[in-house]
A and B are shown apart, each in its own frame.
Chain A
Amino acid sequence: MKYRCGVCGYIYDDAVEAVPFDELPDDWVCPVCGEGKEGFEPMDEEEAPGPTDGPATAPEIEWEEDEGLRELSAGQLSAICSNLARGCSKQHLDKESALFTEIAEYYERHSVKAQYEGIDGILTLINKDLGTMEVGKMQAAELSDRGSLRVLTWSEKVTLIAKSIVERYRADPSFIERTNVYVCDICGFIYIGDEPPEICPVCKVPGFLILKIGRKV
């Protein structure tokens, strides 16, 4: 039997775990998002193995690429530069940080209109990414590239949780109305709830780094 976490989509599979789901203690929580046992739903045996499309439908990936500098989109250049700005400020290189921010902002202004639109567009990209992440994790493991494995593991969890939140919102927008929205400022984990978790369930930073997203009144 398999059980799926209603918050983040994590799947507990009796077939691969040491302890069957029914015998888990009452205070057991989802290893990804911290949801309690009661938030898990049994899955139909028929159902596909998970919320991801899985490796079977993973996009074709070029494993060897020969061209020199790969084309980066304006959005990627913006992300590279905003991250370098942060790296500089960690090193107390404040002037350099401001300069990288300037370039990041330029590319943010120039990032092109997306190919997809709306919440559905985001879901389309999420599903593509989940497939690529699956392949990427195998690739990283094969190469013993722990850094890439780390970022793929985190971002896969963050993406799965975002997917489950967006789908829930589409089904019933009111579930956010009565509560708060938070984003982990390190990994991007989105949390819908009254108080943020004490530590981020994805990247494990302390809760003060999980920031509240305000609502306009």
Chain B
Amino acid sequence: MFASRNLRLCTKDCMCLYVCPTGASDTETGQIDFAKCIACGACIKSCPSGAISMVPDEYPVQQRKTKSMCGTLNLISANKAQSEVIAKRIRDGTDDPVLEQLASALVRSNRLMAEDICREAGYMLPQSGNVRQLLEDLLAMEHPDDFPREAVEKLLAMMRFNE
């Protein structure tokens, strides 16, 4: 566990520097020195801007989703992903700067929706059993040569899966 500072909220130069017993909160990068932090929580209590939070090492098992709900969500995320592809083709195939702009907005918007819907359909937490299963399934499949097999293997080795 370690404390992490939200740089968008931090108003700089105050209480956390006084209360930190290890000097972890005083760094040239603006972020806390995670390696020095002993997770005592003093900075969190003292920060007037609510800018610090504790990042855990372990996460609880996620809320279970029903298959039927995931099925419905998957129907939608598949279409959002398709819409992103269509919008990309429009964006890359036009000379009209306004259409290009609208298509770029649609690319981004559809990606964000697809991400969020997939997230609710069982892929919320990177450390979850579902994600591990997905990575294992990917590894077991045949892929074209440019598939980043090593990235999948590294993730399976590095992530602290919670189930």
Listed in ascending order, the chain A residues whose CB lies under 8 Å from chain B are 59, 61-66, 69-70, 72-80, 82-84, 86-88, 91-93, 95-96, 99-100, 102-103, 106, 109-119, 121-122, 125-126, 128-129, 132-133, 135-136, 139-140, 143, 145, 147-148, 150-152, 154-155, 158-159, 162, 165-166, 169, 173, 176-177, 181-190, 208, 213-217
Contacts and interface: CB of A to CB of B under 8 A. Distances in A.
Q: Say whether chain B's binding surface is mostly helix, strand, loop, or mixed.
A: helix
B34 to A, nearest CB: 7
Q: Say whether chain A's binding surface is mostly helix, strand, loop, or mixed.
A: helix
B15 to A, nearest CB: 22
A114 B86 CA distance: 6
A153 B45 CA distance: 35
Given A139-B69, A155-B116, A118 B86 contact: yes
A171 to B, nearest CB: 13
Contacts, number: 229
A103 B155 CA distance: 11
Contacts of B118: 76, 79-80, 83
26 contacts: A74-B81, A76-B74, A76-B118, A82-B115, A84-B126, A87-B124, A92-B4, A93-B126, A96-B126, A99-B155, A100-B155, A113-B85, A114-B86, A117-B86, A125-B82, A128-B79, A132-B76, A133-B76, A145-B66, A158-B109, A165-B102, A183-B108, A208-B8, A213-B104, A215-B101, A216-B97
Interface residues of B, number: 73
Nearest to B153: A99
B120 A136 contact: no
Given A122-B87, A139-B72, A190-B109, A76 B81 contact: yes
B147 interface: yes
Contacts of B71: 61-63, 65, 70
